[in-house]
Amino acid sequence: MPTPRAAVIHDLSGFGRCSLTEVIPILSVMGVQCCPLPTAFLSTHTGGFEGFTFLDMTEELPRAAAHWKSLDLKFQAIYSGFLGSERQIDIVAGFIRTFREKDTLVMVDPVMGDNGQAYQTYTPAMCAGMARLAALADVITPNLTEAAFLLGRDYGQLLDGGRAVHDEAALRTLAQELSLGGKRSVALTGAALAPGQTGAMCFDARTGRAEAVQTEFVAHPLHGTGDIFASVLTGGLMRGDSLLDAAARAVDFIHACALRTVAQGLSLREGVDFEPLLGQLVPR
Ligand code: PXL
């Protein structure tokens, strides 16, 4: 089988593992060729660091995409994450429209925020645009904050104001709502069915069913776990796994990485210490 190829549209943050420094190694070890379109270059990610540098790559994206088009490149997946400007919403949407073919997997991780807050560089207009971009996706991977933004709901009121946070039926309903009437699959992250657990509530547009995958909750906040989740999920789906199997692999991998990170007493903003465990993702 030829090596499947993915266009990966995320930022490159030099320190504090997230985005391309996770996406590329994870997809590579899972047997996928990554073609990066960096949305921005930052000295560090924006969570827990002050004074980071930020180079906006908006102008470069359409130029690189036009060159790829002239080469007639084909992608089995298009996978986007953290964007660098409001204009990038339309640029990434245009990229999807140009390069999508019948069997292309379009994965939009609607990266916008966490714990009820938007990330430092995200404006309300970018969050509104992200909902438009996510409407083009086959699969989305919001956390609970991003789910609230996508649905235009108050985070504090989501899941009955937090009272239903461990309510499987409420989480299932939320995943279904995010599917736009069953048109796209959803893996809602940070979904815990009981205290001491965490995982994902998955709505599979192929089966019309919503089911959860769970693991033990290790520590919060661990930076970059959402990017690891979406990357392992993308790699699994490109290998032909079901949404639920791919999500289970992602949740188990993050659990192993989180245990290792906490055991080493690493500062949480450095991200999870995943590199030594990448071998667990090698296809067998
Ligand atoms: O993991 C999401 C993410 C990606 N990229 C950058 C970020 C964050 C979250 O803080 O700051 C630059």
- Position 245 pLDDT exceeds 90: yes
pTM of the model: 0.98
Q: Convert the pLDDT of each residue in 189-211 to its tens digit.
A: 999 999 999 999 999 999 999 99
CB 199 within 8 A of CB 226: no
127 lines ligand 1 (CB under 6 A): no
- Position 122 pLDDT exceeds 90: yes
Residue of the nearest CA to atom 10 in ligand 1? 47
Q: Locate the ligand 1 atom nearest the alpha carbon of residue 121 and give its number.
A: 11
Residue 102 Cα to ligand 1 middle (Å): 31
Residue of the nearest CA to atom 12 in ligand 1? 45
What CA–CA distance (Å, rounded) separates 81 from 122?
13
pLDDT confidence tier of residue 1, bands split at 50, 70 and 90: confident
Q: Locate the ligand 1 atom nearest the alpha carbon of residue 225 and give its number.
A: 1
83 lines ligand 1 (CB under 6 A): no
CA dihedral 72, 73, 74, 75 (to 10 degrees): -150
Lowest mean pLDDT among 11-15, 183-187, 236-240, 269-273: 269-273
111 lines ligand 1 (CB under 6 A): yes
Residue 190 Cα to ligand 1 middle (Å): 16
CB 34 within 8 A of CB 8: yes
47 lines ligand 1 (CB under 6 A): yes
Phi, psi of 98 (to 5 degrees): -75, -40
Q: Convert the pLDDT of each residue in 80-116 to its tens digit.
A: 999 999 999 999 999 999 999 999 999 999 999 999 9
